[in-house]
Structure 1
Amino acid sequence: MQDTSLEDASIAERLSQSARFRRTMVDCQIRTFDVTDQLLLARMLDVPREHFLPPELAPLAYSDTGLQMNRGGERRTLLPPLVLARLIQGASVESTDTVLDVGAATGYSSTLLAGLAGRVVALESERSLYNELRSNLDSFGLTKVQTVLAPLPEGAPKEAPFDVIFINGAVEANLDALFAQLKDGGRLVALKPLSGDLTGRASKAVRYEKIDGGTGYRVLFDAPAPVLDAFRRDEQFTFF
C-alpha cells in the first residue's frame, strides 16, 4: 500500500507557500500601486496565478514583470499583476456588469474579473491559449465565464453589448468594432503607447467611456506594455 502522507504534506506546503507569495504580492506590489478596491485585493489573494502559467514560468508568477506567452507565432505578454490590478480597478466593474475580456490568454484576468462582475466573456484568438483558457476556467468551476475563439478586434458581437471591455495590453488601432459593442455609459480600458515609442516601455493606461453615442477618454496612470499584434497600426510609408 502506497504511503501518501509525504505527497500530501508536499502539496500542502506548496499551497501554503503560494498563499504567502500572493500575500506578499498584494501587500508589496498591488497596494503600493494605488490599488484600493477591497474586493479586487481579496480576489488576488485567492487566485493562484501560477495555475495559469506553464511550468517554466510558474516561479515568476508573483514577480512584477510582464511574462512572455508566445504561441502560434503571435507575440503575447501577460501584464504584471500590479498593472493588471490597477487597470481592472480603473474599469469600475460592478456586480451586475457584463465584461468582455479581450486577449484573455490562459484565463487569469477572466478569473479575477469573475469575482467582480455578473458575467464575463473571455475572448482569445490563439487556439493553443484558448484551449488552456477553457481548461483552466473549467478547473475553477467558473460557470459565469463564457469563452469565445475569434480575432481580438472583432470582439464578441453575439454577446454584446458590454458594460466593460477590458483589453490585456496596449493598443494603437482597430478598436471600432469594440467601441460599437459598448453599452452607452460603458467603459473600455487598455494601455496606449506614447507616440513614437517602439519599445513598449512608454505607455499610459486609458479609460474610454461611451456617452450618448460618442466616446471620450481619460488617462489613468503610466505603465509599460507592448502593443498587442492584433491592435497594431498599419505601417505608413511616405515616398519623397
Structure 2
Amino acid sequence: MTAPADIEQARFNMIEQQIRPWDVLDVDVLGLLHEVRREDFVPLAHKALAFVDMEIPLLPDTEEAMRKGYSMLPPKVEARLLQDVAPKGHEKVLEIGTGSGYMAALLASRAQRVITLELHPELARLARENLQKAGIRNVEVREADGARGLAAEGPFDAIVLSGSVHEVPQVLLQQLKVGGRLAGIVGDAPMMRTTIIRRTGEAEWETKQPWDYVAPRLANFPEASRFHF
C-alpha cells in the first residue's frame, strides 16, 4: 500500500511537472487539485496510475473502455478545462460525460450546483458513489444521453463536455445563459482543438480555440459525413 507521504509527493509532482507547464496558473485551480483527491475517483485496478499523464480506463474490460472512450482524461486536460471555463460560486453548470465523477467534483468545488449526465449505467453508479464518499453534495448525477443537453434545467452558466465532439450542436449553445461559457474538445483526429464558446447575446457567440488535444469521443453526438462527391 502506498504511504500517504508518497501519495502527496506524487500529487505535487503531477501539479508541478504536468499541470503548471500546461499554463494552468490559476491559484484556485491549483489549490483544488491538492484538495480533491484524484486517486479516490480512479478504479481500484488502476490506482497506481492516478497521477500519471494518461487516459485511465474506467470499465473492467480495459480494451472496451478505451475503444468506446470510457476513460478519465489526463490531469492536465481536466485542469485546463476547469481553468478555461472558470465556474463561479453562484453558477449552475452542466457536464456531459460524467465518467468517474472527478471533473464534476472539481466543478462542484467552484460552482453552486452541477448536473452531470452519463450514458453508461455502471459509470453513473460509480460516479454517485465516488462523489458521496468525497462528501460532495452539490452534484446531481443523471443516467442520460447528454447529446441534446438538458433544456428543462437550463439555461446554464457553463457547460463542459468531458470528451470530444465533431462539432458543438446548436441545441447546447441555446442552453447557455447570455454570458455563459461552453468548453469542449472539437474536431476530428488527428486534429482537435479545445473550444471555448461564450454566449454574448441572444443570437451571438464568441469562440476561442486556445489549445490542441485529441480526446475520446462522447457518444451520440453528430459525426462528419463520410460521403465525398
Structure 1 counterpart of 2:84, which letter? G
Match of 1:47 in 2: 36
In the other structure, the counterpart of 1:176 is 170
Contact 1:79-1:225 at 8 Å conserved across structures: yes
CA drift of 1:236 comes to: 3.2
Alignment partner of 1:152 is 2:152? no
Aligned with residue 112 of structure 1, among 106, 109, 123 = 106
Asked whether the 8 Å contact 1:74–1:126 carries over to 2, the reply is no
Work out the CA distance in 2 between the residues paired with 1:147 and 1:68. 20
2:197·2:207 contact (CA, 8 Å) conserved in 1?
A: yes
One-letter amino acid of the structure 2 residue matched with residue 208 of structure 1:
I
Equivalent AA in structure 2 for residue 227 of structure 1: R
- Tell me what 1:4 maps to: none
In the alignment, is the contact (CA less than 8 A) between 1:103 and 1:125 conserved in 2?
yes
Distance in 2 separating the partners of 1:34 and 1:146 = 30
Letter matched to residue 25 of structure 1: M
Alpha-carbon distance, 1:231 to partner? 2.4
Which residues of 2 match residues 118-197 of structure 1 at below 5 A? 118-173=112-167, 175-193=169-187, 197=188
Aligned mates of 1:174, 1:91 — CA distance in 2 = 15
- Kept after mapping to 2: 8 A contact 1:162/1:181: yes
What letter is aligned with 1:59? A
Q: How far, CA to CA, are the matches of 1:127 and 1:86 in structure 2?
A: 27
Show CA shifts across 1:180-232 (max 9, x none).
Answer: 21111110000112xxx44xx43211101112122231112122223323224
Instruction: Check the 8 A contact 2:85/2:196 in 1, yes or no.
Output: yes
Contact 1:103 1:152 in 2 (8 A): yes
User: Are residues 1:36 and 2:30 paired?
Assistant: no
2:220 aligned with 1:237, yes or no?
Answer: no
- C-alpha RMSD of the superposition: 2.0
Q: Using the TM superposition, name which of 107-116 and 151-160 deviates more.
A: 151-160
Matched, 1:220 2:206: no
Larger radius of gyration: 1
Q: Give the TM-score of the pair, scaled to structure 1.
A: 0.85
Q: Distance in 2 between matches of 1:141 and 1:59?
A: 23
2:89 and 2:112 in contact (8 A); partners too: yes
Aligned pairs, number: 222
Q: Secondary structure at the match of 2:220?
A: helix
Between 1:162-171 and 1:208-217, the stretch displaced more is 208-217
Cα offset for 1:150? Answer: 0.9
Residue in 1 that maps onto 2:61: none
Please identify, of 148-157 and 160-169, the stretch whose mean Cα deviation from structure 2 is larger: 148-157
Cα distance change on mapping 1:174 and 1:203 into 2, 3 Å: closer
For structure 2, the 5+ residue unaligned runs are 59-63
Structure 2 distance, partners of 1:146, 1:209, is 24
Please state how far the C-alpha of 1:64 moved relative to its aligned partner.
0.9
Q: State the secondary structure of the residue aligned to 2:90.
A: coil
The partner residue of 2:57 within 68, 73, 78 is: 68
Q: Is the 8 A contact 1:185 1:209 kept in 2?
A: yes
Once the two structures are superposed, what CA deviation does each residue of 1:8-44 show, in whole Å capped at 9, x if it has no partner?
xx6xx63332222111111111111110111111111
C-alpha distance in 2 between matches for 1:47 and 1:107: 11
Following superposition, the deviation at residue 110 of structure 1 comes to 0.7
